[in-house]
């Protein structure tokens, strides 16, 4: 599994991941005493892409690609 930016289908950079994991899931979740993560997780059941609230805020998509086919295509396009 990995995280993509739907704007350009590129792997998510460090800045977006710090915002997603540290600021939103860490700081904001602690400030709201866990309510942010609890409510945000239920956003999976809304919309067509099943994204959590923090994925929508940072504009990321989680991709399950166990054989890493998509990742290999991205690398070959970048090298090519």
Per-residue pLDDT of the chain (80 residues; tens, 9 = 90+): 888 888 887 888 898 899 888 988 899 999 999 999 999 989 999 888 889 999 999 999 988 888 888 878 877 877 76
By CB neighbour count within 10 A (0-12 exposed, 13-18 middle, 19+ buried), where does 5 fall? middle
The domain segmentation of the chain, as residue ranges, is: 2-79
Q: Give the closest residue to 10 by CA, choosing from 55, 56, 52, 73.
A: 73
pLDDT at 80: 66
């Amino acid at each position: 599994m990995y995280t993509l930016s739907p704007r350009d289908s590129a792997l998510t950079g460090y800045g977006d991941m710090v915002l997603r994991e540290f600021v939103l899931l860490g700081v904001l979740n602690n400030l709201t005493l866990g309510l942010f993560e609890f409510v945000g997780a239920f956003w999976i059941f809304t919309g067509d892409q099943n994204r959590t609230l923090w994925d929508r805020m940072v504009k990321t998509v989680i991709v399950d690609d166990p054989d890493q086919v998509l990742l290999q295509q991205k690398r070959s396009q970048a090298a090519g």
